[in-house]
Structure 1
């Protein structure tokens, strides 16, 4: 079977045109029409929601602690996530650029 998808590798979770936050199992992208609007959506920068941003920071903190061999309660990891986001927000508010 050949895969004629132009939008992704077939995984709905990695396809920027599959916008359903809970795609049906087995998470296969149905394929999308090759239109100028869809092409533009693929090259546009991704929209990062606050929830997504918080999850990325939380996952990085959890992974760092795990690699160090440290286990801390969830409440401490959440507090560390909030503190890290507050520092980043203050840094951006000061006008600093990455």
Structure 2
């Protein structure tokens, strides 16, 4: 999934992200285990591909957010960091500007 996303995301104008091996190994392994428990081999393959795509897509979205904040070409690859930053940029930040 990460290899597919590495070549697909730049086509849409997003940054090419090279995800960390630890994130791919541990979180991808967990996605494969849960996918196997729910859908067998098919579920493991689909879970791994979706995980790989999203673990590359989310940091690519974060690059654009960080560029707007002044951190040029910076990103993070851990899902918790990316989720917190995107929630702040898309939901919490705009709400705080209203006050």
TM-score (norm 2): 0.33
Structure that is richer in helix per residue: 2
Bigger relative CO (Cα 8 Å, ≥ 6 apart) = 2
Larger Rg: 1
TM-score (norm 1): 0.33
